[in-house]
Chains A and B, each alone.
Chain A
Amino acid sequence: MLSLLWLKGLIARRSARLVGAMAGVMVTVALLASIGSFIAASSASMTRRALTDVPVDWQIQLAPGADVAAVTSALGQATSYQALAEVGYADLSGLSATSNGTVQTTGAAKVLGLSPEYTQLFPSELRLLIGSMDGVLLAQQTAANLQVTVGDFVTIQRIGLDPVVVQVAGVVDLPQADSLFQAVGVPPGAAPQAPPDNILLLPADQWHALLDPQASVRLDSVRTQLHVRVAHDLPSDPESAYTLVQQRARNLEARVAGSALVGDNLGARLLGVRADALYSRVLFLFLGLPGVLVAALLTVAVAASGADRRRREQSLLRVRGASSAQILRLEGLEALVVGVGGVLAGLVLSVAASPLMGAPVAAADMAVLWLVVAALAGLGLAAGAVLIPAWRQARRPTWAGIRTAIHVNRSPLWQRAYLDVLLLVGSALAFWQMANTGYQVVLAPEGVAQSSVAYQAFLAPVCLWLGVGLLALRLADRALDRGRRVVSWLAQPLAGRLSGVVGASLRRQRELITRGIIMVALAESFATSTAVFNTTYNAQSRVDAELTNGADVTVTGSTASNPGGLLPQLASLSGVVAAQPMQHRFAYVGTDLQDLFGIDPLHINDATSLSNAYFANGDARATLAALAAQPDGVLVAAETASDYQLQSGDRISLRLQSSTDHQYHVVPFRFIGVVREFPTAPKDSFLVANAAYVAEQTSNSSTEVVLLRTSSESTDVAARVRTLTSGLAGVRVTDLGSTQRSISSSLTAIDLRGLTQLELAFAVLLVGAAAGLVLSLGLAERQRSFAILAALGGRSRQLGAFLWSESLLIVVVGSLLGVTLGFGVAQMLVVLLTGVFDPAPEGLAIPAAYLVALLFTAALTAVLAVLAAVAAARRTLVDALRDL
């Protein structure tokens, strides 16, 4: 009965306190549930994408003499599958062809035997460049080496048998050559095997007719693989999906008892994805948890703002004979109302906000777990915010509770122990250690089923956040205590002759004021660090896509299909701002064939962006200027420079294919620097040189690539470019937007927009709450003081002097501190999460508009809180006087 009475009273008379605390719990729960749902949904999306990305899930290599039917049957028992094709692999001594009266001969080659339906079953393995898919196909590089094209004849040099001649029906690109020619069954951690330089593809019947006899001569030169797309009935979590796929592969190997080995491409892909998934989890937690913490602190602050009133209520209850247990039961009722109400509202809010994130809350089974975790956290927070202070109060003697809370305490333990300084030193040490020892946040070693996150990476930003927060608390407290004259002087414009009294008032209420400052600072730091990191991330995601794609729109052809010939037309297309041709050739560095990019160093920047991070000296402009000044200059990969002990100015000899005789000839270059990344360049070694010099030395002025910078939507421009280049066989047009959406090799492929939009919205809410709610609840708690001030004859302007000074102090100092801390944390996150970025950003991107909106929100809510407090002091004067 008493409980019901108390509850009724709370709802009727303390609704602001209840709703305030409930709102804090709601935001905490909603933020936590949303982050969790996003983590679950993004993991599921990464798994889904991995499943569709893999061209062939399993390549089952049969032992010589193994029974294909038996292995197929075992496969059906180990797992269900969607597609299966038998592929023959055979080694050749080489290939040769006659062109323009000269005979071109290659070294060792591979020949595949493909069934007619293979390209339908596994479409992403082959891409037809010219000719027809029906018949003998040559890989592009092999066709170039042999100088043959569709209709030409190629001689197959079989091992131990007579050569045979076949006619080329088409030239293809093998985009997945690395996995297609992987060495199946090598131990984990073995160096990856490069795909063969020379590849021929035969229809299965023809392959069997020509190569089956070779098996009887050299058994080990002929193998059979089963290419399989397994059923994708896998868990949404990449780690679990990887484990299941691996178990099925092992199961199959056990069933066939040594007669086949599984090349588990799907498992390998999921292995990579689980690292990305862990990265994403770390990233989202890094970004989101401070927000959750701020929301929780706000809840505690809101609950604490009623401490004086609560103290009086408890004292009255005890005076009237209520036991501590009874008091705690009543407080527990309040905690329960706050907790249940806040949790329900938070869950509803997170579900309502899910469309904003672009991922449904129930997108993954893990999402339910996150909702439960969020709900429990909300209940725990309500209990902690309401019950713990009540319990502590209930243990005090009655008379102590009646006294008010304005008093000068001994410094708290953390101040006496210099915890703030220790945390900052700890943060600096952790950061220094992390940034200088080549650590990895996510450890996912190949061949190891379990991946892990180096959670100690959290230490530096967490310690920084807490350390700065506590240090600010100490300094603000100290400044208000000892800097009364300065504070009074600062309050002069607002308070006039009352400035001294206002300064004294601020000094004695410094506990409340520093609490407000810290709340605003933490909320603003969360908002700032999220916004800055998000802007940097998005900018870098674009850089990543531009690096992969080359430019806004990239036209890629070949020496024969030369898009450079259409340069004037491309440049004059609507939406094209600049067009730059670029050669993409191949050059031998010793025996290593590397990609060679020929550019115009003075104008390449017109069409694409070259980041300083692309070059070892960290200066793109200087490197390009040096290349322009040295016509035979060449930039090489760090690995090449190291292998050949190159020093700047060294002469190096590369072999380039000449257009006059199609032979590779030595061309002298001068080493001028190291390049790490370059638009469209592969991850491994490549070269960058002056296009004019390459053209002169190879008697070939073709430009295989054209880079376009656009002023409008790159996808639209790409469509126009496709129409223009439709006459050029094999020309490929790619655009930045599509590339940005399709990159799956790095974490920047994850679309953070949904989550960050949500977090940024919450951040604005938290800043508003910190500046407005904490202030107005604090002011409401001191309503009596304002009523006395009004009763003494204080006019609105004079009453406002106290309130404006206080709110200005809270908002201005809190914002300054928060924005500075936010930038610091963002910078730290960018350095610590270097693995997320490819390439690493040169600096932080500043979301100016958002920051202005944030500060405006803080200022606006503070102004509203003060205006409301002034109005309330006047409105409730008579009521307050009745209590005096």
Chain B
Amino acid sequence: MREPAVVDAQHLGRVYRRGNAQVVALASATCAIRAHDRIAVVGPSGSGKSTLLHLLGGLDQPTTGTIAWPALGRREVLRPTHVAYVFQAPSLLPALSVIENVELPLLLGDMDTTAARNAALDTLERLCLSELAERVPEELSGGQAQRVALARALASRPHLLLADEPTGQLDHATARQVLDTLEASLQDTPTALVIATHDPAVFGRMRTTWRMQHGTLMDAAAC
């Protein structure tokens, strides 16, 4: 018997209001994501990649269509444990050290403080970032900060990892390093990975590629 989908989305749409104008951020997207999936969402800027990721992760609500997380539960329980994000821009909390940033989602998920600290240390060690544990974000390079953001996302061992152009602000070498880290970390885990990207070097490493055009997800129906 096939495992239930992590995400099941039907005809998702998202329209924003800006004053009197309506902005269609996402016209239509139908897709399903399962465990172990490695999906790249590609498309030009403004095609609706980020909006799709926000909807898939339950950060935002669709104005049309339906979305469900059969393997995870209701929207309210998705974060911080089941779904994790990695953003394009620096997203570490500047007032917290690296270790505190990494353990934060675990604490938000009501994990015991000692267990959370140990899990965070384990994750940093796995990602070879232990030496950065006590630094604050402003003391990190762009690549280091993004790897720490990755560690934060992976620390809670999520079922779905959504990464919105995680290498968009990094040079090629650093980007490759981050992707290597990501791939290595997800090896042997059932975590589904969805990456929004422009970068062929990124989507070339994914098993599946979805294309977005003018707010519509073109070729994900088969999933």
Residues of A within 8 A of B (CB): 403-404, 406-407, 497-498, 500-501, 504-505, 508-509, 785, 788-789, 791-795, 798, 877-878, 881-884
Contacts and interface: CB of A to CB of B under 8 A. Distances in A.
Contact of A881 (B54, B107, B116): B54
Prevailing SS type, chain A contact patch: helix
27 contacts: A406-B136, A407-B138, A497-B110, A497-B112, A498-B108, A501-B96, A504-B95, A504-B97, A504-B100, A505-B95, A505-B96, A508-B94, A508-B136, A785-B93, A785-B94, A788-B87, A788-B91, A788-B93, A791-B91, A792-B108, A792-B152, A793-B78, A793-B79, A798-B108, A878-B59, A881-B87, A884-B164
A501 B85 contact: no
B54 to A, nearest CB: 6
A793 B108 contact: yes
Contacts of B50: 881-882
Interface in B87-138: 87-89, 91-97, 100, 103-105, 107-113, 116, 136-138
A883 B54 contact: no
B191 interface: no
Contacts of B54: 878, 881
A30 to B, nearest CB: 35
A407 B136 CA distance: 8
A884 B96 CA distance: 18
Contact of A508 (B60, B88, B96): B96
B138 A500 contact: no
Contacts of A883: 89
Contacts of A789: 93, 104, 108
Contacts of A504: 95-97, 100
The 5 closest A-B pairs by CB, nearest first: A793-B80, A793-B79, A884-B87, A505-B95, A508-B95
A407 B140 CA distance: 12
Given A497-B116, A878-B54, 6 more contacts: A501-B107, A504-B100, A788-B91, A792-B79, A798-B108, A883-B89
B138 A406 contact: yes
Interface of B: 50, 54, 59-60, 78-81, 85, 87-89, 91-97, 100, 103-105, 107-113, 116, 136-138, 152, 164
Contacts of A793: 78-81, 105, 108-109
Contacts of B108: 498, 789, 792-795, 798
Contacts of A882: 50
A792 B100 CA distance: 13
Contacts of B137: 404, 406
B18 to A, nearest CB: 11
A785 B136 CA distance: 14
B180 to A, nearest CB: 23
Given A785-B95, A791-B59, A501 B100 contact: yes
Given A501-B104, A504-B96, A792-B105, A884 B88 contact: yes
A794 B80 contact: yes
Contacts of B138: 403-404, 406-407
B59 A881 contact: yes
A308 B88 CA distance: 20
A505 B107 CA distance: 14
A884 B103 contact: no
Contacts of A509: 95
B194 to A, nearest CB: 15
Contacts of A788: 87, 91-93
A785 B95 CA distance: 9
Contact of B107 (A407, A498, A884): A498
A500 B59 contact: no
A10 B92 CA distance: 28
A596 to B, nearest CB: 76
Nearest to A785: B93
A509 B81 CA distance: 27
Nearest to A799: B108
A403 B142 CA distance: 12
A204 B137 CA distance: 99
Contacts of A500: 100, 113
Nearest to B86: A884
Nearest to A503: B100
Interface centre among A505, A792, A794 (most CB of B within 10 A): A792
